[in-house]
Amino acid sequence: MTGASHPGWTPMPTTETKPRIALLGGTFDPVHLGHVHLFHEAYAVAGISRLIVIPVFISNFKRGTHPASFAERAEMLRLAICDYRDIYPEDRMKVEISLYEGEKGGVSYTSETIRAFYEEAADRGKVNFIIGDDLIASLGNWHDIAYLRSHVRFICFTRLGDAVENTSGAEVIFIRSDVFHASSSEVRAGEKGMLSQRVRKFVDENKLYGA
């Protein structure tokens, strides 16, 4: 349910001509059950039929941090997608991983990634890009925001239970999301119960995050 009756909510535009594609970027350090639940919400609530998950190489917002290696994070994503299939067997969404930002190297900017995927992923003139409501306040300060305003439709899954004020000038579609408490920082602090089965096994076997 998108909650479109609330003045802050906007329904996803419909399309009958082609499958709906969305991009989801992030550090995924590590990917956890909250991300797996988000995959499901993208399919069940936003009507996404193909999700391209893009792990960043170096996040523009997390410079100076020392995440697990790009290869380890990409492998954990692969395992999490397998777990997603087990947890939500009725979902029919295609989920794939793009190694674009890792192969490009350097700091990852959303605008550069959108340019790389625009021809493949544009839906009615804009690329659907999934974000959380914690990013709305800073959206207007994102690199090359003018390009993002004209080329991106941000799909914002809210964890705060309401639409968030958007002053960025970018198109943002707010979708009410079920709260699923899990965070990468808590996993790194030792809360391994927030990991899906295959990912936790990988973390334990590779002694990541103090395992």
pLDDT in tens, 109-132: 999 999 999 999 999 999 999 998
pLDDT at 137 over 80: yes
Q: How many domains does the chain have?
A: 1
- What's the pTM? 0.88
Tens digits of residue pLDDT in 75-92: 999 999 999 999 999 999
193: domain CATH number is: 3.40.50.620
Minimum mean pLDDT among 21-25, 31-35, 119-123, 131-135: which range?
A: 131-135
* Coarse DSSP helix, strand, coil percentages of the chain, rounded to the nearest 5 percent: 40, 20, 45
CA distance 189 to 35: 18
Band (14; pLDDT cuts 50, 70, 90): low
pLDDT at 3 over 50: no
pLDDT at 179 over 90: no
Band (162; pLDDT cuts 50, 70, 90): low
Give SS3 for 37: helix
> What mean pLDDT is predicted for residues 45-52?
95
pLDDT at 63 over 90: no
CA angle 29, 149, 11 (to 5 degrees): 80
Give SS3 for 49: coil
CB neighbours of residue 9 within 10 Å: 17
Q: In terms of residue numbers, what domain contains 44? A: 21-205
Q: Tell whether 198 is covered by a domain.
A: yes
Give SS3 for 193: helix
Q: Tell whether 14 is covered by a domain.
A: no
Q: Tell whether 78 is covered by a domain.
A: yes
Q: Tell whether 6 is covered by a domain.
A: no
Q: Tell whether 159 is covered by a domain.
A: yes
Q: Tell whether 13 is covered by a domain.
A: no
Q: Tell whether 39 is covered by a domain.
A: yes
